[in-house]
Amino acid sequence: MSEHTIAGKKVAFLLTDGVEQIELTSPWDAVKEAGGEPTLVAPKDGKLQGYDGTEKGETFDVDLAVDQARASDFDALVIPGGVVNADHLRVHKGAQDFVRGFFEQHKPVASICHGPWLLIDAGVVSGRNVTSYHTLQTDLKNAGANWSDEEVVVDQGLVTSRNPHDLPAFNSKLLEEIAEGEHAGQTA
């Protein structure tokens, strides 16, 4: 059980086909175990295909279409990685708007691996301290972020990590930031 209780807190998980499934399931389970209520938000209805590296994994049921979702209905946002997942989400206007809403409302956002690509296109990384999968560092730096190679970086409610090996630290900081609530420095 987590040292942080987030009982009753609603947490959106934004993803699409190609998600790295452990980067969805591990934080999802951590949120549930801490008393939170996770919701899978996606650009399409139905089922999404998860991946374990390059191999097809499980499928996941979508709870809510991103175009129907509002940041105001949630307490926090998690953006899992996966190259295909992140590449498709980053160009989806509804996904960009949904992410920006969390920053505008000063709510915690956590993103791992390739997930921070979406943060770039949502226009929310300039001046922020972040990490990601190493291949995204140039993109993040070019967008104005301060990138570093650390297992987890926390900046005013924004939690980022590099890869699945960082999930224990990522999950711990995710729950801590949700428990703390809104952060004045978390802005778009």
Residue partners of 93: CB distance under 8 A and separation at least 6? none
Active site residue 183: no
Q: Which one, of 162, 166, 109, 160, lies nearest residue 135 by Cα? A: 162
Dihedral of CA atoms 118, 122, 124, 130 in degrees, nearest 10, equals 10
For the chain, what is the total number of helices (H) and then of strands (E)? 6, 12
Active site residue 113: yes
- State yes or no: pLDDT of 38 exceeds 70: yes
- State yes or no: pLDDT of 188 exceeds 80: no
Q: Which pLDDT tens digit goes with each residue over 125-163?
A: 999 999 999 999 999 999 999 999 999 999 999 999 999
Average pLDDT, the chain: 96
CA distance 36 to 136: 30
Residue 28's pLDDT is what?
A: 98
Catalytic residue (one of 88, 113, 165, 183)? 113
- pLDDT band at 1, cuts 50/70/90? very low
User: Could you tell me the domains of the chain?
Assistant: 10-180 (3.40.50.880)
Catalytic residue (one of 88, 114, 165, 183)? 114
pTM, whole model, 2 decimals?
0.97
- State yes or no: pLDDT of 185 exceeds 90: no
- 19-20, strands of its sheet edge to edge: 19-20, 47-52, 55-61
Q: Which pLDDT tens digit goes with each residue over 69-95?
A: 999 999 999 999 999 999 999 999 999
